[in-house]
Amino acid sequence: MNASSSKSTNTTKMRLRLHIPRRYQQEPVISRLIAIHGLVVNITGAMLGKHTNGEGRFDLEIRGTVPQIRHGLAYLESLNLKIVGKPNADGDGWSC
């Protein structure tokens, strides 16, 4: 997944789909992206319940600097969560 901008201090955004397995359902995974990594997180879609085999699935738009986004993604990857990039339909150049 790429997150880039002309300067590392510029705010940018990235879209992704995050799959959170049952073992992390009581953990504040998304809240930690905000509190620890300083990201702005907009949940644009979610699927929970019996149709997801106990897994939560969230469509997220993440905003922050490139280093913040990289650290946030590293945090998610450290939990071995499935992260899927989504093409950006808004045409702002972001595709992950």
Amino acid 85: pLDDT:
83
Report the predicted TM-score, pTM, of the whole model to 2 decimal places.
0.76
End-to-end C-alpha distance for the chain, whole angstroms: 5
Q: Residue 19 forms beta bridges with which residues?
A: 57, 82
Amino acid 6: pLDDT:
45
pLDDT tens-place string over residues 39-89: 999 999 998 877 677 788 899 999 999 999 999 999 999 999 999 986 555
Which of 37, 35, 44 is CA-nearest to residue 77?
Answer: 37
For residue 93, pLDDT beyond 90 = no
pLDDT, average across residues 22-32: 90
Structural domains of the chain, with CATH: 12-85 (3.30.70.260)
Amino acid 16: pLDDT:
93
